[in-house]
Structure 1
Amino acid sequence: MCNDNKELQQFKKRVLELARKSYEHNVYMYIGFLSMAEQDVLYEMQQELKGIPYTLFGGMEDCERRILRFGSEESLGYAEEFPIICLLVKPMIEKFADDLTHRDFLGALMNLGIDRSTIGDILIQGKNAYIFCMDKIAPFLMENLDKVKHTNVRCESVEAQTSFPMKEPESISFTVSSERADGIVAKVYKLSRNQSLLLFREKKIFINGRINENNSHILKSTDMISVRGYGRFVYYGCDYETKKGKLSVSAGVYR
């Protein structure tokens, strides 16, 4: 993540260097999985990247961590797949397995000494996890990722599009005084208004992939909101106004 000005400048320098190489050498160039904060920095570089096509992809639609690829089939004259592998990690004996969390799987991966940028989204399904990673690290993980917390696991490559059972977001409805982002975030995650406001100040709110520090921002239907530490939801919009002047709104929460 870009936590300070030095890292920010290094990240921008790397982006511009690979964009130039892609353009000058007529080849695809990649930067490993970007955090949402890094993607926000990328969006701020539109003027500097003008005329250089790029794509962000994380292995499936709606992935939050995504690889940056410079070049396109139209500009380069040939197609190339993203270097992404989906790994299924499952317990050796499910009935003895711990109830493992995203943090447990990420901790096990980081304990192997790999670079965070080689790992994309980690999607939990029961006691299994689907991990998107760069193809260059996949063989190492399949050989060395054998334990998560106290659970012995095995790791295999799968086709994400056909193997991962996509879950629809859970639809919820509630009333608010307005469609301000801070109020809706507070309602979705059962927070106080002050707790919600703090998330904006700490730059933990992303709306449609962009950091948003404006807690009074008015949400629009289909906006995707990610809240670091809590999850994400899609805002469906206002359904109707109550007799007391409140707005009945709905959202789809990804559990």
Structure 2
Amino acid sequence: MNLTKEEQIILKHYHDLINLSYQRSIPAYSQFGSMSELELAYKALDEFYGHQNVSEEVQYKLYGGYPEAERKIICFLPDDRQSPVVEQDFPIACIRFLPANKKFCDELNHRDYLGTIMGLGITRDRIGDILVKKDPVFKAGTAYVFCKKDMVSLLEGITRIKHTTVVAKEVAFSSADWEITYKTITGSVSSFRLDAVLALAIRTSRSQTVALIQSGKVFLNGRICTENAKKLEEGDIFSIRGYGKFRYDKANALSKKGRYHITVQQYT
């Protein structure tokens, strides 16, 4: 695994956090990381503990503010911790953005919010997922931005996104009314192998999906998967860089031609 200079810096940072947790017997929290960056955290854990000894809830815990989060914080756990780390312990806050006047606003998207936030000098690793909920009537809907807790005052100070005046306020996760939406994809496959299901999900050939898998562009349940023959189970979540995020929903009856009818849900 040849790492870029930036990846080497991230890997060293994870190593430092693992050592901090181990030596001081305290939970050590990272910044927000993408799936690719979190793969470096797993590498650091494997190098520190040995691959056979690493498991979630024992050496580490992940959370991004809500169950389906793409960007997450990893908490490295001490061996002798006295109490479990729970989701509420993570230094994550949720900021809700609402247009001040729904009649006079732009149609805002993920890029608009991220661009404004980055324009404040906030680095990407301080921000988690950005969820934009469209309004059925007005152009600008509601946006929820997950961030590190020390970013709350800065984000609450934002009053304008593009040409739209907004009101930003921290809210409890339980009061946020976002919802995950899907596009349903149906079709038939010869097997439940990863390459076969991916080919259906993105409407391409199996040879092309094999190339995507082997180039490290496919994540299965949050981890890079380079095994094209991996058998999927109902509920598995896979992401393909450049194509989106999907959930293998269910398999139906076997057809007369020996193919399986399946349903895949694409996150929208």
**TM-score, shorter chain, exceeding 0.5:** yes
Which residue of structure 2 lines up, in the alignment, with residue 63 of structure 1? 69
Equivalent residue, structure 2, for 1:155: 168
SS at match of 1:94: coil
1:224 aligned partner: 237
1:106-163, Cα deviation, whole Å (9 max, x unpaired): 12211221111100011111122111000011111111x2222332222111112232
Read off the aligned partner of 1:248 and give its amino acid letter: H
Q: 1:248 to 1:46 in 2, by over 3 A?
A: same
Q: Give 1:111's match in structure 2, choosing from 95, 106, 119.
A: 119
Matching residue of 1:135: 149
Which residue of structure 1 aligns with residue 179 of structure 2? 166
Cα offsets for 1:8-53 (capped at 9, x unmatched): 2222221121111122223222110011001112223333343772
Moved more, 178-187 or 61-70: 178-187
Give the corresponding residue for 1:94: 102
* Matched residue, 1:208: 221
- Following superposition, the deviation at residue 188 of structure 1 comes to 2.5
* Residue identity matched to 1:71: L
DSSP 3-state at the match of 2:103: helix
- Corresponding residue pairs, total: 253
Amino acid at match of 2:130: I
Task: Give the CA RMSD over aligned residues.
Answer: 2.8
In 2: Cα distance, 1:133 partner to 1:195 partner? 36
Which stretch of the first structure deviates more once superposed, 103-112 or 76-85?
A: 76-85
Deviation at 1:208, TM superposition (A): 0.8
The residue aligned with 1:250 is: 263
1:187-214 residue CA offsets vs partner (Å, 9 max, x unmatched):
3244565664564355332111112344
Contact 1:130/1:164, CA 8 A, preserved across alignment: no
Q: State the alpha-carbon separation in 1 of the partners of residues 84 and 206 from structure 2.
A: 51
Structure 1 residues without counterparts, runs of 5 or longer: none
Q: Contact conserved, 1:27 with 1:76, CA < 8 A, in 2? A: no
Equivalent residues in 2 for 1:176-191, closer than 5 Å: 176-191=189-204
What amino acid is the match of 2:24? Answer: H
User: Would the aligned equivalents of 2:25 and 2:78 in 1 still touch at CA under 8 Å?
Assistant: no
Q: Which runs of 5+ in 2 are unaligned?
A: 135-140
Q: Which amino acid aligns with 1:139?
A: S
What SS is found at the alignment partner of 2:120?
coil
Alpha-carbon contact 1:26-1:76 (below 8 Å) kept: no
Task: Give, in whole Å, the separation in 2 of the partners of 1:97 and 1:43.
Answer: 43
The DSSP-based 3-state class of the residue aligned with 1:45 is helix
User: How high is the TM-score relative to the length of structure 2?
Assistant: 0.82
The CA deviation at 1:99 is: 2.2
Q: Is the 8 A contact 1:119 1:132 kept in 2?
A: yes
Moved more, 207-216 or 108-117: 207-216
Tell me the TM-score normalised to structure 1 length.
0.86
Distance 1:96 1:192, change over 3 A: farther
Q: Distance in 2 between matches of 1:74 and 1:251?
A: 42
Q: What is the letter of the counterpart of residue 89 of structure 1?
A: F
145-154 or 193-202, larger mean C-alpha shift? 193-202
2:88 is the counterpart of 1:75 = no
